[in-house]
Structure 1
Amino acid sequence: MKAIRIKLWQDLVNYKKPTSFQLKETYPLPPYSTVIGMVHTMCGFTSYHPMEISIQGKYFSKVNDLYTRYEFKNGMTYDEKRHQLKVGDYGVGRGIATAELLVDVELLLHVIPEDQSLVPTIAEAFETPQEYPSLGRREDIATIQEVKVVSFERNVRFKKNISVDRGYGAYIPVKDVEDKLVIFGQRSNIGRRNNLGTRYLLTSTYELINRGTAKAPKMFRNWLKKDVFYATDVTVSSRRFYSKDEDDKLMFVRMEE
């Protein structure tokens, strides 16, 4: 099978955690839904094309930045003592809030479309983009450093230990960790490895659910999520079976059971 390997760089970026409000926190790497959305936008797809994504990367540091925040309540009329803006007869509050930003982000993505005939389409969309690529917020511009179509193998036994690039982290399916297919963490003073990782339930794709009626539909997104560990210094032993591309880059994709 073929995959599109994409290397990106971003200056300042926020991959927002959906449950953060007062401080707009960020994930250490973009969630699957964010990458899938970028691919569909770049290719101009108007319907969902199933694909698998492997996400690796690193960042230099974190900073906090202020941004303008607008608040309004449905049906609340304008009150000059309470609201800063008037829109028609309604009031909108304007203030400041804080966003957490990652600095100097490097990403290594593998995109594996279920329909393999889309491989050249996706590769061309990133090689010659029709508009500026962004990942995270719309203003989080991504600089494309490499696009390469690579062959890859699933569940192949390695001839040697293979690690992610130095300093890189990755989203690893929890099942792979439970099955002890990967080693992650840092060696302690006695030579053992400490499992240092953060567990996330990341959005992947969604299906539309009608919670209204046939005559008055109310469509909601029912998100499908992936249970993963985020960890750095990840290694796969030569005694294990795992997935890698033709350049011995690890790919953290797992066949659905």
Structure 2
Amino acid sequence: MQHTKQVLKIKIHQPSAHYRIPFSYQRRFTYPIPPYSTIKGLICNLMGIRDEGDERLTKIKGLSLAIYGRYESLIKEYIWFRNLSKNSHVDKFHSVTNRTIDNIPQHPGGQMPVTVDVLQDVNLIIYIYHPEENFLKSIKKAFEDPSERLSPIHLGRSEDWLVFQEIKSVELIQKSAMSIKYFAWIPAKEYVDKNFIDGDYDNFFDGLNGNIFRLPTFYKITDTNQRVFEEYVTVKLYEGESFKKMKFYVDSNENIPVIFTILRGNKDARNSG
């Protein structure tokens, strides 16, 4: 008997996108695919989830996500970042009241040249699973009819608009696989959704080529209105090489083994990273 599991599949196209790697400033580096927190933010935006007072956020914390993607090329954008603090203005103009240099009026404050890495022609496949079938249906409805959205629909920067190419429920079929032809986040054993794994996942993860990252998932807003991430998952960034054959739940139409990461649900997620 062939085992199957039903999940939500979202295909997205973006003409350009930047998924910023934290702590990159004067040159802003990008991940090749969005991290989990970015996809979670998209879901919350579409569903109209504003804050922790919304009971649906508790259910969002039970999501499992799998993220796959490709891009055509990477370009560098050169922009100015402005700082409107008093000290930055004085450093540039040498006076609080002055706004001219060489008798030419300029913008107030200081400025710094910044390079931003931008992906071009991005195609993503996002798989979403939740143990409560009705809640998964409500997520699907929000993608199909985002009338409750909190802001214009984007992924990455606010200007990184997107097109939904496919929104549908699909059945994953259990079978063997030995490659994924996309960039993908592959979770460590503490964070993988074991409902979709049949085999020695520890050896699979240990033998997989890829750099290890600690990706944020959930954050708190401090009293000073700062966003502070407090939960992380450990993953490898997989770049499309083959691996030892193993059984997974596979999307047969895409020939993708779908490896889900649970966003929350174990004590290790609360490590500071």
Task: Give the AA of the match of 1:150.
Answer: V
Q: Secondary structure at the match of 1:233?
A: coil
Offset of 1:5 from its aligned partner?
Answer: 0.5
| Partner deviation per Cα, 1:24-82 (whole Å, 9 max, x = no partner) | 11011101000000011011123322211100011112110022311244x64853715
| Partner deviation per Cα, 1:87-128 (whole Å, 9 max, x = no partner) | xxxx62234311001111110101123543122222122223
For the 8 Å contact 1:53–1:112, the answer to whether it is kept is yes
Task: Give the AA of the match of 1:203.
Answer: P
Aligned to 1:243: 249
> Does the C-alpha gap of structure 1 residues 77 and 104 become closer, same or farther in structure 2, counting only changes over 3 Å?
closer
Give the number of aligned pairs.
228
For the 8 Å contact 2:217–2:229, the answer to whether it is kept is no
RMSD: 3.2
- What is the alpha-carbon distance in structure 2 between the residues aligned to residue 77 and residue 180 of structure 1? 53
- What is the alpha-carbon distance in structure 1 between the residues aligned to residue 16 and residue 211 of structure 2? 22
- What is the alpha-carbon distance in structure 2 between the residues aligned to residue 244 and residue 205 of structure 1? 28
**How is 1:50-129 mapped onto 2 (pairs within 5 angstroms)?**
50=61, 51-73=63-85, 76=87, 78-79=89-90, 81-82=93-94, 92-129=109-146
Aligned to 2:45: 41
> Does the C-alpha gap of structure 1 residues 180 and 19 become closer, same or farther in structure 2, counting only changes over 3 Å?
same
Task: Give the AA of the match of 1:199.
Answer: I
- What is the alpha-carbon distance in structure 2 between the residues aligned to residue 183 and residue 199 of structure 1? 11
Offset of 1:22 from its aligned partner?
Answer: 0.3
- What is the alpha-carbon distance in structure 2 between the residues aligned to residue 179 and residue 78 of structure 1? 54
Task: Give the AA of the match of 2:170.
Answer: V
For the 8 Å contact 1:181–1:241, the answer to whether it is kept is no
Task: Give the AA of the match of 1:242.
Answer: F
List alignment gaps of at least 5 residues for structure 2: 100-107, 193-199, 267-273
- What is the alpha-carbon distance in structure 2 between the residues aligned to residue 237 and residue 196 of structure 1? 11
> Does the C-alpha gap of structure 1 residues 4 and 72 become closer, same or farther in structure 2, counting only changes over 3 Å?
same
Large movers: runs of 4+ above 6 Å: none
Task: Give the AA of the match of 2:27.
Answer: L
Task: State, as a whole percentage, how many aligned pairs show the same letter.
Answer: 23
For the 8 Å contact 1:150–1:246, the answer to whether it is kept is no
Q: Secondary structure at the match of 1:59?
A: strand
Task: Give the AA of the match of 1:54.
Answer: A
**How is 1:140-159 mapped onto 2 (pairs within 5 angstroms)?**
140-152=160-172, 158=175
- What is the alpha-carbon distance in structure 2 between the residues aligned to residue 140 and residue 219 of structure 1? 24
Offset of 1:244 from its aligned partner?
Answer: 3.4
For the 8 Å contact 2:89–2:110, the answer to whether it is kept is no
TM-score by structure 1 length?
Answer: 0.74
| Partner deviation per Cα, 1:123-150 (whole Å, 9 max, x = no partner) | 1222233465210001001111111112
List alignment gaps of at least 5 residues for structure 1: 86-90, 185-194, 211-216
For the 8 Å contact 2:19–2:34, the answer to whether it is kept is yes
Aligned to 1:199: 212
Task: Give the AA of the match of 2:42.
Answer: M
Aligned to 1:188: none
Task: Give the AA of the match of 2:183.
Answer: G
- What is the alpha-carbon distance in structure 2 between the residues aligned to residue 219 and residue 95 of structure 1? 24
Pick aligned residue for 1:227 from 216, 221, 234: 234
TM-score by structure 2 length?
Answer: 0.70
Task: Give the AA of the match of 2:258.
Answer: M
- What is the alpha-carbon distance in structure 2 between the residues aligned to residue 108 and residue 63 of structure 1? 22
Task: Give the AA of the match of 1:140.
Answer: D
Offset of 1:152 from its aligned partner?
Answer: 4.2
Q: Secondary structure at the match of 2:93?
A: coil
Offset of 1:207 from its aligned partner?
Answer: 4.3
Task: Give the AA of the match of 1:225.
Answer: Y
Pick aligned residue for 2:188 from 153, 158, 174: 174
- What is the alpha-carbon distance in structure 1 between the residues aligned to residue 229 and residue 116 of structure 2? 26
For the 8 Å contact 2:9–2:168, the answer to whether it is kept is yes
Q: Secondary structure at the match of 2:203?
A: coil
Matched, 1:20 2:40: no
